[in-house]
Structure 1
């Protein structure tokens, strides 16, 4: 094996380790169960009722404003 071929093989192996994992949506909606239905666990966010779409939407809005809004984190 020549030096050039060995270098090419090493580059291919190095770049294959940098591949990004699949970001395919893996929610329960593919099984006919909506996301807001919950899992039946008792460990849920306070204020959210499992199976209630309105409380699910409200909790998502609150989480977005409190946890993912950089302006609120800084000020």
Structure 2
């Protein structure tokens, strides 16, 4: 009986500690937008914002300005 309780306690402890592990957080190699490239030279795919041409710094800055103004709640209220 005592041995069964000890084994059950060990099994319970092992089950609780199994959730404490952490997986490696290694970034996969992203070929669409490598991190060492300027942000305005982003990917050319269907997910880019309308009005922005990848590779054009001026349109990138204009797009950020427009996005910042449309997310400003004070501008929307007035």
TM-score (norm 1): 0.52
Whole-angstrom distance in 2 between the partners of 1:54 and 1:61: 11
What are structure 2's unaligned runs of at least 5 residues? 1-33
Whole-angstrom distance in 1 between the partners of 2:46 and 2:56: 15
Tell me which of 57, 60, 63 is aligned to 1:53.
57
Answer 1 or 2: which has greater helix percent.
1
What are structure 1's unaligned runs of at least 5 residues? 1-26
User: Highest CA radius of gyration, 1 or 2?
Assistant: 2
TM-score (norm 2): 0.50
Whole-angstrom distance in 2 between the partners of 1:49 and 1:39: 10
Tell me which of 11, 36, 41 is aligned to 2:40.
36
RMSD of aligned residue pairs (Cα, Å)? 1.7
Q: How many positions carry a matched residue from both structures?
A: 45
